[in-house]
Amino acid sequence: MKKALWIILVIVIVLQVIPSNRPKTNFKNPDDLLINNQIPVEVATMLRNACYDCHSNESQFPWYSYVAPVSYLVNRDIREAREHLNFSEWESLDATKKLKMLGEISDEVGEGEMPMKIYPPLHPKARLSDEDRQKIVDWTADFGDGLLK
């Protein structure tokens, strides 16, 4: 048993020196959703707290995201999230893509799929009540209607 613990410890230490391909951050995003649109303050705050760490170029990396093997998982999740939806690049999307993204936001948030279950326990500000979720769903519908006009 003692030998197994030493082996695990050595593996964890070795993992710390293997690069984790951390996504780059950028806080100057001229195409950002929140910069270019009049989003209700309450909704904007919820999006920033519950979505932006993964779905924008403004990711904040907490201490545990620097420790392998967790760092590999966090960085992979952020890269995949940005590929799917990146609020920092919102204005570069055409209207059809924006409407699709709004529908997906409504579905994912409304059904409790986003933020991912593992995220809110570590980020208390990301916890969304049923009422919060409904506000985001309602906002997506209203914002989408505005795009159609």
Residues 50, 126: contact at Cβ < 8 Å? yes
* Residue 115: other Cβ atoms inside 10 A: 21
CA terminus-to-terminus distance, the chain:
67
Mapping DSSP onto H, E and C, the string for 2-48 reads: HHHHHHHHHHHHHHCCCCCCCCCCCCCCCCCHHHHCCCCHHHHHHHH
Indicate the residue type of 134: Q
Q: Where are the domains of the chain?
A: 21-148
What are the pLDDT digits (tens) for 17-30? Answer: 666 678 999 999 99
Q: What is the pLDDT of residues 27-85, one digit of tens each?
A: 999 999 999 999 999 999 999 999 999 999 999 999 999 988 889 999 999 999 999 99
pTM of the model: 0.87
**Residue 6: what pLDDT?**
78
What's the token pair of residue 44?
């904007």
